Structure 1
Amino acid sequence: MAQHNDTGKKGEDEAVRYLEQKGYEVLERNYRHQHAEIDLVAQKDKLVVFVEVKTRSNTRFGNPEAFVTYTKARLIMKAAEHYIFTKDWQHDVRFDVIAVTVLSDEVTIRHLEDAFY
C-alpha cells in the first residue's frame, strides 16, 4: 500500500477511536453513493454525524481541514442525502471534519463540528 494510503488509514482509525471515546457509535466507514464517499457516519443519541477525515503527515502546505473543498463538501452532502433517505433517518444531522496530523509518532486531532452544510 502506498505511503499516503497508510497515512489516510491511520487517520481514519484515529478518528474512529476519538469518536468512540466521545460517546459516538460509528455506523459506517467509507460509505459510498455514486461518485461520493463519506469517510465516517457516526451516531450519538438522535444525531447522525457525517464525517470527512483529512490526514496529513506535515503541515507545510496548510492544516488538513483546509483541503476540504467546496466540491468535496457537495459530494458528501449528496451521499448523506442518500444515506438519510435509505435509512429513513428522521432526526438531526451534522457535517463535521476531523483533521488528523501525524508527525513522527505524535498524533494531533482537531474536531470541527458543523464544518459545512
Structure 2
Amino acid sequence: MAEHNEEGIWGEEVAQGELERQGYLILERDWRNKHRDIDIIALENETMTLCFVEVKTRSDDTIQSPEEAVDCKKIRNLAYAANAYLRYCSIRYKAIRFDIIAVVGKRPQVKRIDLIKNAFNPMLVL
C-alpha cells in the first residue's frame, strides 16, 4: 500500500478516536456509493445530528492546511454520497451536517487535530 494511503487510514483512525472521545456514535467508516465515498458517518449524540465527516491528513501543514484540500469537486461528491446514504438507510434525520477533521502528524505522533463543524454547505457548491 502506498505511504499516502497508509497515512490516510491512520488519520481516519485518529479522527474516529477524537469523535468517540467527544461522544459521537460512529455509524460507518469508508462508506461507498459507486466511486464516491464518505470517510466517517457519525451521530452527534448531544444534538442528534447526522454528521458526514471528511478526514484530511497531512504530515505537516506548512504549504497547505489539510482542510484547504477539500475543494468544490470533493464537496460535490460528498453531497451526492450523503444523498445516496440517506436514501439507502431510509431514515429521516432532523439535522445533517458536513464536517471536516484535519489531522496533522505522522504515525504515531499527532501534532494537531481540528474538528471543523459545519465546514461547508454543499448546496452552495452544487
Same fold (TM over 0.5): yes
Deviation at 1:3, TM superposition (A): 1.3
Deviations 1:29-59 (A, max 9, x none): 1111122110000012321100000000011
Q: How does 1:71-110 map to 2 (within 5 A)?
A: 71-91=73-93, 92-103=95-106, 105-107=108-110, 108-110=112-114
Query: Mind listing any 5+ residue stretches in structure 1 that lack a counterpart?
Result: none
Q: CA deviation at 1:79?
A: 0.4
Please tell me the residue identity of whatever aligns with 1:68: V
Query: Which of residues 117, 120, 123 is equivalent to 1:113?
Result: 117
Contact 2:10 / 2:107 at 8 angstroms: preserved in 1?
no
Question: What secondary structure, in the 3-state scheme, does the structure 2 residue paired with 1:98 have?
Answer: strand
Aligned partners of 2:12, 2:119: CA distance in 1, in Å? 17
Residue 124 of structure 2: aligned partner: none
Unaligned runs of 5+ in 2: 122-126
Q: 2:55 & 2:83 partners in 1: Cα distance?
A: 19
Q: Which stretch of structure 1 is more off in the superposition, 7-16 or 105-114?
A: 105-114
TM-score by length of structure 1 reads 0.93
- Read off the aligned partner of 2:104 and give its amino acid letter: T
Identity %: 39
Quote the Cα distance in structure 2 between the aligned partners of 1:2 and 1:79.
25
1:53 aligns with 2:42: no
- Secondary structure of the residue aligned to 1:66 is helix
TM-score, normalising length: structure 2: 0.87
Shift of 1:105: 4.5
Counterpart contact for 1:35–1:75, Cα < 8 Å: no
1:89 deviates by 2.4
Two-structure CA RMSD over aligned residues (Å): 1.3
